[in-house]
Structure 1
């Protein structure tokens, strides 16, 4: 969908750059070598996870599937998503244009997908699998990976 016309875009028309609290979903795509997919975001130039805000009448899982495809070209099935955490500690965040947001994101992992890895919606400049967190990475990535590792170690859903 992209930002223009989205629910948050319409909200921004009313509140400007003021802090908005939004439900969101993010996807930790894990390949067969246990590397994770990151996107180099066009708005900050930093690496981040495929993620986005929920739209009215959607679900966290459908948001994750939609954002993954829009940002990476990869398609996942809802049934292949593994919810492992709810992450809300990485806010608020101020975008380069001054917009402030505090996202409450349901985190999903996925190991099965189809499609060709390529940026589609202009949000991603580059896409790459990593074994370690790279430089110029949003701090939320390290937190999400910490939550994933805790989930793998304990089998318990994580909350941060």
Structure 2
């Protein structure tokens, strides 16, 4: 999510305290776009249309995107990353999973950032500079 001032939406996880982009795993009956729409609304209160999502990168680097969850589960994740600039609703973070959410500039993101979020932010900055879909 990118606002009119070119700031990006970040959220701070309740379980780890790390900042991240709104994201989660897909439900069995949902694709990339449907998952992005659902998770954004569940976690932030904002609603975006699938048609307003623009894919800018994919992340599958096992050096960065093997995640260990607080319960000890480990998995290698694959992400398709989207940009959206149009939405409806008001920012209202999900209190079960998200402590707070706010927009920050690309050059001054909140800390601490999850490593995966740092990687996606770097991909987004490269995309913005080149206009070319990024992979890692």
TM-score normalised over the length of structure 2: 0.91
Corresponding residue number in structure 2 for 1:127? 101
Residue in 2 that maps onto 1:85 = 57
Whole-Å separation in 1 of the counterparts to 2:28 and 2:77 = 15
Secondary structure at 2:77 match in 1:
strand
Q: What is the Cα-based RMSD across aligned positions, in Å?
A: 1.2
Q: What is the aligned residue count?
A: 132
Which residue does 2:86 correspond to in 1? Answer: 112
Distance 1:48 1:141 in 2: 5
- State which structure, 1 or 2, has the greater radius of gyration over its C-alpha atoms: 1
Please state how far the C-alpha of 1:124 moved relative to its aligned partner: 0.5
Find runs of 4+ consecutive structure 1 residues off by over 6 angstroms: none
Name the residue aligned to 1:143: 119
Structure-2 separation of matches of 1:155 and 1:38? 22
Higher relative contact order (CA closer than 8 Å, sequence separation 6+): 2
Q: Does 1:30 align with 2:2?
A: yes
Shift of 1:121: 5.9
Cα distance, 1:135 vs structure 2: 1.8
Q: What is the distance in 2 between the residues matched to 1:135 and 1:155?
A: 27
Equivalent residue for 1:41? Answer: 13
TM-score if structure 1 supplies the norm length? 0.78
Structure 1: gaps of 5 or more residues: 1-28
Unaligned runs of 5+ in 2: none
| 1:56-95 mapped onto 2 (5 Å cutoff) | 56-89=28-61, 90-95=64-69
